[in-house]
């Protein structure tokens, strides 16, 4: 849909998708407002972004392959978060490199890692050689490999800072919006970034936005991982000052978000085998949070025009890898809106048309 620089856009949702979209408009000098619901309960109150650990990782450990379009995402995300850091005056606070130490669960996995390296598999460019020299508090009898180009983005800080910046410029409002909302005339286009808050509206158009529940603990512990994120089944991410994020649980299609005893036990049980007993027994849980990840059925984001709604677009379904895939996806949507560049078929919501 052609668009001129005199249009005013409404972005609904100030989670990661809304902020990434706002950034695309900001860079183009396009006028916009951001609305976010002030609801205190129900799907509208969910913010996956506020609770996420913000990790990025170009490797999918399950089958030991590279994530879909990994290099494209890696380049775009680095550029985006570093520019945002600069724009928000948060140098050194937003974007963090923390290599991931993948503890091998057994000797077969170790052999697979070696095979990927020896075969020059596309994932090999993201993997280091195998090592047996473990940080002293980590237990890895089968050894480990490292993914150096991994890390995390401080998402709560990003959305808080961006929102403050918008508020100062009169561009942020605590308001509800849905498909039935009468649009103020000043807005020419809407970009719907409501996460799981959009589930019901899109169900009426035959597009499924699943809500996948996740829980994370914050723990205080003297564990030394040499600054690396330790991964085996679950992950332990160092955040400085002896603080770690331990996550995450994953449950499909849960509509209510709340931290559970079962989630807490699942996380601690997964950590126990890889941490030396003397340090494992010496930690304090300082926080326990949960949220709903907005996801699609094929685990690709949704970015594109909304069927039957004029000048309305969706950016949603960022799933478990919002930090990694979000910047590229937002950029594709902006190119589609402003430059009429066709959207890649694998993110276009119309890919589900035939199945409806």
Ligand X SMILES: Cc1cc2nc3c(=O)[nH]c(=O)nc-3n(C[C@H](O)[C@H](O)[C@H](O)COP(=O)(O)OP(=O)(O)OC[C@H]3O[C@@H](n4cnc5c(N)ncnc54)[C@H](O)[C@@H]3O)c2cc1C
Q: Which residues sit at the interface with ligand X, rule CB under 6 A?
A: 12-18, 35-37, 44-49, 51-55, 176-178, 193-195, 197, 214-216, 247-248, 291, 293-294, 316, 318-324
State which residue, 17 or 328, has the beta carbon closest to ligand X. 17
> Which contacts of 84-87 are long-range, i.e. CB under 8 A and separated by 24 or more positions?
84/23, 84/158, 84/162, 87/23, 87/26, 87/165
**Under a CB-based contact definition with an 8 Å cutoff, are residues 21 and 334 in contact?**
yes
State which residue, 58 or 247, has the beta carbon closest to ligand X. 247
CB of 335 to ligand X, least distance (A): 19
CB of 20 to ligand X, least distance (A): 8
CB of 126 to ligand X, least distance (A): 16
State which residue, 47 or 143, has the beta carbon closest to ligand X. 47
Taking alpha carbons only, the member of 136, 193, 168 closest to residue 14 is 193
State which residue, 7 or 44, has the beta carbon closest to ligand X. 44
**Angle CA 331–7–49, to nearest 5:** 40
CB of 236 to ligand X, least distance (A): 12
**Under a CB-based contact definition with an 8 Å cutoff, are residues 168 and 161 in contact?**
no
State which residue, 193 or 348, has the beta carbon closest to ligand X. 193
Taking alpha carbons only, the member of 251, 225, 217 closest to residue 102 is 225
Taking alpha carbons only, the member of 322, 262, 235 closest to residue 49 is 322
Is-cis flag, bond preceding 220, omega within 30? no
Burial degree of 41 (CB within 10 A; 0-12, 13-18, 19+): exposed
CB of 108 to ligand X, least distance (A): 27
State which residue, 134 or 216, has the beta carbon closest to ligand X. 216
**Under a CB-based contact definition with an 8 Å cutoff, are residues 112 and 129 in contact?**
no
CB of 50 to ligand X, least distance (A): 7
């Amino acid at each position: 849909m052609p668009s001129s620089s005199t249009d005013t856009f409404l972005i609904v949702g100030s989670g990661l998708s809304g902020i990434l979209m706002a950034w695309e408009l900001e860079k183009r000098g396009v006028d916009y407002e951001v609305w976010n619901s002030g609801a205190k309960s129900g799907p509208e109150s969910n913010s996956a972004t506020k609770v996420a650990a913000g990790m990025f990782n170009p490797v999918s450990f399950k089958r030991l392959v590279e994530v879909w379009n990994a290099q494209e995402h890696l380049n775009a995300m680095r550029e985006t978060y570093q520019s945002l850091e600069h724009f928000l005056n948060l140098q050194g606070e937003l974007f963090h490199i923390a290599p991931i130490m993948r503890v091998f669960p057994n000797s077969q996995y170790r052999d697979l890692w070696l095979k990927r390296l020896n075969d020059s598999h596309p994932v090999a460019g993201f993997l280091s050689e195998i090592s047996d020299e473990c940080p002293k508090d980590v237990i890895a009898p089968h050894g480990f490999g490292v993914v150096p180009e991994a890390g995390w983005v401080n998402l709560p800080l990003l959305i808080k800072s961006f929102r403050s910046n918008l508020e100062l410029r009169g561009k942020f409002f605590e308001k509800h919006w849905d498909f039935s909302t009468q649009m103020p005339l000043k807005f020419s286009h809407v970009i719907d970034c409501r996460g799981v808050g959009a589930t019901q509206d899109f169900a009426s158009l035959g597009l499924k936005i699943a809500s996948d529940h996740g829980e994370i603990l914050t723990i205080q512990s003297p564990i030394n991982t040499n600054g690396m994120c330790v991964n085996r089944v679950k992950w332990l991410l160092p955040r400085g000052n002896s603080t770690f994020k331990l996550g995450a649980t994953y449950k499909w299609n849960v509509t209510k978000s709340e931290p559970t005893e079962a989630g807490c036990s699942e996380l601690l049980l997964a950590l126990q085998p890889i941490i030396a007993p003397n340090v494992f027994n010496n930690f304090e849980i300082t926080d326990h949070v949960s949220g709903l990840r907005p996801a699609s059925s094929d685990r690709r984001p949704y970015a594109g025009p909304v069927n039957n709604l004029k000048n309305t677009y969706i950016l949603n379904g960022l799933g478990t890898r919002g930090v990694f895939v979000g910047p590229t996806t937002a950029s594709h949507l902006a190119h589609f809106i402003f430059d009429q560049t066709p959207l890649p078929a694998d993110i276009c919501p119309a890919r589900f048309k035939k199945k409806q």
